[in-house]
Structure formats: structure tokens, C-alpha cells
């Protein structure tokens, strides 16, 4: 679980060049032959999950989730402001000036000629992030991406019900990154149930979503992307950030997401300070 995440981060970082070149190459395939990939594949082989076909999702429509961005290190993100992307802490290396990340927005198809690509200028990784909990980060962009933003949820009462996650990550455990954005809707799972599934959960900082029988989940490469729902006013709000899971879509192993409501004040403050 914890280990899955660390292995993945190394794959993602190593595959950045290939991902930039192709925009959709499977992190695993791009790095075939490296130790990282062997490690992740053997971990996968041990307990193979269901390989239904984000896992079990369907294609998103152009413009359906206009705030979705793909990040060049192989993660997802959401426009918190037109020039600030909210993603996962484990998708970035630390905080400070950083011009190495490219955000692609405005399209569901990463090969669409209408895509907008903007470089990063700064990264803010959640203060105190050490690999457990606090899995959020902000990326400041060189210029705005002219798309609607996704507000973050502030009321913990929103942490329930049917939640949607979207991304260009693998469509099954060990699968390839996707050229076209996929979405899937999964029910919220309470902390006690999730804690039973994993034995570990940073309560208050992480929330879980998935179905008992498996088959529906986010997966590698979806990290950093938003888990969202509609609020009482019928507007989309972000309640989670794709963080980790044991494999993908395995029965009894829900996806684990950063609990955005808990960090809403910190995220807002940090975004203000990013300039």
C-alpha cells in the first residue's frame, strides 16, 4: 500500500521524458527493464486483481470536466485557479521554483491539437508531507489555462455518496496510460470500513471510495487527479485527490484519496501565497 505508492512515484519520475514525448505512454512500458518496473510488476503478479476495464470507467465528454489537467510527470490535477493546479504531494519532488512540469488542459484527448500546454513556475508540496497523509500539492503555472476551475469542498458533510474520479491513468492494474480521459463513479466508504480493508488509514487526512466487489477504481497515473461530486447547489466540488490503493480495483481494496475538506483552508492559503 504505502510501498505501492513509493514504487510508483519512482516509475512516474523516471518515465517523465517518455511521457512528455508521447503524452500517453504507459509508465511501466516506457521503463521496461528497469528495477522499478520489475518491482511493481512482481508486486502486481502476486495478487492479481480483476482486469475489468480509470478501471471500469467510460470516456468523458469534451468539456464535461473542463478543469482536468494532465501533468507531464504522469499525474492528473485540477485547476484550482486558472494558473494553479491542485495535485498530489507524491506527484512532485518538493517545494520551490520549478519549470520542469508541463500541464496539458482544455482537452479530453491528449493528442487533440486544441490542447493547451503550460509550463510550471513553482511547486508547493504540502507542509510536513512525509509519505503518509497530507497528499496534496499546488503547481503554479506560467500563464493561465482559460478553463473553468474546480472549487474545493469545505464542508465535511460532502464526504459521502457517489463520487466521480477522472484521469488518463491505467485502465487496469498494470495497464497502459490512456490517451483519452476516462471517468468512473464510486461510492464513499466510511473510515472504519476502509481501515479494516487496509489496517492503516490516516483518519481525517484520507478518505476512501470504491465498491466491495472491485472493478471500479482509479489507478496508476490517475494520482493527483480530483475526486468530485455536486454540492447542494448542483455545482461540482472537489472532495478528494487520487492518492493510493493496493493494486487497482481489487475486491475489498478501495481507492484512497486525500481528504480535501480537511486541508481546504491550508490549500487556499497556500494558493494565495504562491503569488
Distance of CA 203 to the CA centre of its chain: 19
41 a catalytic residue: no
Please tell me which residue in 40, 120, 218, 223 is annotated as part of the active site. 223
223 a catalytic residue: yes
Binding site for ligand ARG (CB under 6 A): 5, 8, 169, 217-223, 242, 244-245, 248, 255
95 a catalytic residue: no
Of 83 and 189, nearer to ligand ARG (C-beta) is: 189
Of 75 and 83, nearer to ligand ARG (C-beta) is: 75
Distances (CA, A) of 269 to 10, 22, 244: 29, 35, 25
Pairwise CA distance, residues 53 & 172, whole Å: 6
User: Residue 184's closest CA among 165, 170, 171?
Assistant: 165
* Smallest separation (angstroms) from ligand ARG to the CB of 174: 12
Please tell me which residue in 83, 135, 171, 222 is annotated as part of the active site. 135
* Smallest separation (angstroms) from ligand ARG to the CB of 217: 5
Of 83 and 126, nearer to ligand ARG (C-beta) is: 126
Please tell me which residue in 90, 120, 171, 217 is annotated as part of the active site. 90
Q: How many residues in the chain?
A: 275
> What b/e string do you get for 232-270 counting C-beta neighbours within 10 Å, with b at 16 or more?
eeeebbbbbbbbbbbbbbbeebbbbbbbbbbbbeebeeb
* Smallest separation (angstroms) from ligand ARG to the CB of 248: 4
Amino acid at each position: 500500500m504505502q510501498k505501492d505508492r513509493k514504487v510508483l512515484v519512482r516509475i512516474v519520475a523516471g518515465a517523465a521524458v517518455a511521457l512528455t514525448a508521447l503524452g500517453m505512454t504507459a509508465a511501466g512500458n516506457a521503463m521496461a527493464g528497469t528495477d522499478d518496473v520489475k518491482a511493481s510488476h512482481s508486486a502486481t503478479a502476486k495478487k492479481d486483481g480483476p482486469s475489468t476495464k480509470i478501471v471500469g470507467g467510460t470516456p468523458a465528454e469534451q468539456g464535461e470536466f473542463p478543469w482536468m489537467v494532465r501533468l507531464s510527470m504522469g499525474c492528473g490535477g485540477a485547476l484550482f485557479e486558472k494558473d494553479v493546479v491542485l495535485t498530489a504531494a507524491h506527484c512532485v519532488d518538493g517545494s520551490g521554483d520549478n519549470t520542469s512540469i508541463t500541464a496539458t488542459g482544455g482537452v479530453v484527448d491528449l493528442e487533440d491539437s486544441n490542447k493547451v500546454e503550460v509550463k510550471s513556475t513553482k511547486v508547493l508540496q504540502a507542509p510536513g508531507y512525509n509519505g503518509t497523509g497530507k497528499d496534496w500539492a499546488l503547481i503554479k503555472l506560467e500563464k493561465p489555462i482559460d478553463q473553468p476551475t474546480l472549487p474545493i469542498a469545505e464542508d465535511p458533510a460532502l464526504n459521502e455518496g457517489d463520487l466521480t474520479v477522472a484521469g488518463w491513468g491505467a485502465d487496469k492494474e498494470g495497464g497502459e496510460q490512456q490517451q483519452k480521459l476516462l471517468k468512473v463513479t464510486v461510492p464513499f466508504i466510511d473510515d472504519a470500513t476502509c481501515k479494516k480493508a487496509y489496517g492503516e488509514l490516516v483518519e481525517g487526512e484520507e478518505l476512501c471510495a470504491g465498491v466491495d466487489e472491485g472493478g471500479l477504481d482509479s489507478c496508476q497515473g490517475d494520482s493527483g487527479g480530483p475526486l468530485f461530486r455536486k454540492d447542494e447547489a448542483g455545482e461540482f466540488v472537489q472532495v478528494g485527490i487520487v492518492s493510493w490503493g493496493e493494486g487497482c480495483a481489487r475486491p475489498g481494496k478501495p481507492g484512497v484519496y486525500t481528504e480535501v475538506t480537511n486541508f481546504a483552508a491550508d490549500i487556499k492559503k497556500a494558493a494565495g501565497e504562491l503569488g
